[in-house]
Amino acid sequence: MTDGQQTAEHPTGLRERKKRRTRDALLHAALDLFTTQGYEETTVDEIADAVEVSQRTFFRYFAGKESAAFAVQEMVESRFIAELSQRPAPEAPFEAMRRAVLCAWNSIGDAIEALIPVELHMRTYQMIESTPSLLAAHLRRNSELENQIALLIARREGLDVERDPRPRVAVAAFCGVMRVTGQLWGHGRETSMDSLRTLTEAYLDQLGPALAGDWRAPALDRVPHVSGPAYGQGHNTRTTPSGCDI
């Protein structure tokens, strides 16, 4: 190639870059509007108008307003799941989750900042926590994520998640810490992603000793798998071995 010549970018690459820029602009506009004038008060038309595209274009990238509200969170969750899936088999379950979230943060922070300012990310978190419809969706999503992680951990350890409670217990504890640190960060003064990582690591370090140990060693007791009608259907009470009704 002689001086002054440039290699033309492939048309497919140009289209993909344009699509990515449009999606990023719509996401930024949506979150900015949600956090300034309110989620319920914001319409899809307003989001599209802010980017000077049609409503149809908005729905090409997002299923709806809720999809846009949780887009960054979904990206974070996907990166965590990917990291956890790649953790070495010898790692204990909690250590695998801890290392996965901290390793994911090496790229998550930059990825978030490439999409939106961290300050807007914090305001979005606060908006989700304070909007009833979004908070309900947030709790539902968290429940689905916990189940996904528990199944992944059970597969790693060769356990039946329906008979062995430890994967669900460990994941519930881990995700509980993640929720607490997220809430503390969302209401704090320090807005950097590094501060969120430091806070999360400090809290996870408190939980680690309680969940350490070799899970592959045979356990003496297991919670039995119960089939049949769910609790409260067909039975007024249950009796524990000690004779207490619950």
pLDDT top residue among 190 and 35: 35
The pLDDT value given to residue 111: 81
User: How far, in Å, CA of 123 to CA of 103, rounded?
Assistant: 24
225 pLDDT band, cuts 50/70/90, is very low
Lowest mean pLDDT, pick from 62-71, 146-155, 200-209: 200-209
In the predicted structure, residue 187 carries a pLDDT above the cut 90:
no
What sign does the CA torsion over 13, 30, 194, 153 have?
negative
Q: Phi first, then psi: what are they for 150, rounded to 5°?
A: -60, -40
178 pLDDT band, cuts 50/70/90, is confident
**Closest of 106, 99, 114, 107 to residue 27, by C-alpha:** 114
As a whole-number percent, the residues of the chain with pLDDT over 90 amount to 46
User: How far, in Å, CA of 35 to CA of 37, rounded?
Assistant: 6
Q: Phi first, then psi: what are they for 245, rounded to 5°?
A: -80, 135
pLDDT top residue among 175 and 235: 175
Average pLDDT over every residue of 5-10:
53
In the predicted structure, residue 230 carries a pLDDT above the cut 50:
no
Average pLDDT over every residue of 140-166:
93
205: which residues sit within 8 A by CB, 6+ positions away?
A: none
The pLDDT value given to residue 222: 46
User: How far, in Å, CA of 30 to CA of 42, rounded?
Assistant: 8
Lowest mean pLDDT, pick from 20-29, 34-43, 218-227: 218-227
Please report the beta strands in 1-49, taking only residues with DSSP state E, as ranges in sequence order. none
The pLDDT value given to residue 87: 93
At 95-144, the pLDDT tens digits run 899 889 888 877 777 788 888 888 898 899 889 989 999 999 999 999 99
Q: Could you give the 3-state DSSP secondary structure of residue 245?
A: strand
